[in-house]
Amino acid sequence: MRDERSIRYVPPVTLVVLIAMLAAQVWLHVSQAPATAQPRPLPAPPRAELVAALGFGDRIVIAKLTMLWLQSFDNQPGISIPFAALDYTRLIRWLEVIVQVDARAQYPLLAASRIYAEVPDPARAGAMLDFVARAFLDDPDRRWPWLAHAVYVAKHRLHDPDRALRYATALATHATGPEVPGWARQMRIFVLEDMGELEAAKVLLGGLLDSGRITDPHELRFLSQRLAELEARVRDTR
């Protein structure tokens, strides 16, 4: 501590220089505006063949990596982009490419129906649900859960019964495999009932019961009760 000198022994010129340097640093820090993070736009996707080639034969892995990159695109350095601000035309195209690379991938459709379709923008949400409906047709017996959720979103969030009925009709028509639950195929009946189309719902439900396709006794009992309720409501409206 004896080697340290008091500030009064520092030459005045040195003090002036030090003070000037400190002042310059403070001024530079204050005068510089903080850098504002600018969001990067979602680029157009490459062809599915090129994405598949990047996987060196492993289409499943490259599809998963591409999906992870896509889903994290809204979190950019210094900024978080709301889904509604993304270019949904390109976003849907990316999802289409990923599904083309790995036709058995389910997560792109889960993300489309349960994440990207939940934005508070009816146009973007509707476009995403339409993508799910198109993709469903390529593998109905495996992709039915995402279209079933699309029926729910269209009906309860978009308040678009016509769209919900269109999706529910596609489910009833194309998802016919033994592993597809009956409630998914019956969604059309309940959408019609909610739309006030009681006669059409009654006819469809009666036809379903008469077809012999429903074998579970609990389901038969439930649907028979619903049919009786529909018939009573139809009589009351006449």
Query: What is the identity of the amino acid at 91?
Result: L
Give 233's pLDDT tier (boundaries 50, 70, 90).
confident
Q: Which residue has the tokens 């009906």?
A: 155
* Cα distance from N-terminal residue to C-terminal residue, the chain: 105
CA–centroid distance for 20 within its chain: 57
Over the stretch 170-212, which tens digit does the pLDDT of each residue have? Answer: 999 999 998 888 888 889 988 988 887 777 777 777 776 666 7
Which tens digit of pLDDT belongs to each residue from 131-169? 999 999 999 999 999 999 999 999 999 999 999 999 999
- Phi, psi values for residue 120, rounded to 5°: -80, 50
- The amino acid present at 176, given as its one-letter code, is T
Give me the phi and psi of 180, to 5 degrees please. -80, 120
Where does the chain show beta strands of DSSP type E? Answer: 75-76, 79-80
Task: List the structure tokens of 225.
Answer: 């009760």
Residue 73 vs residue 238, higher pLDDT: 73
Query: What's the whole-model pTM score?
Result: 0.74
Round to whole Å and give the CA distance between 189 and 178: 20
- What are the boundaries of each domain within the chain? 42-160
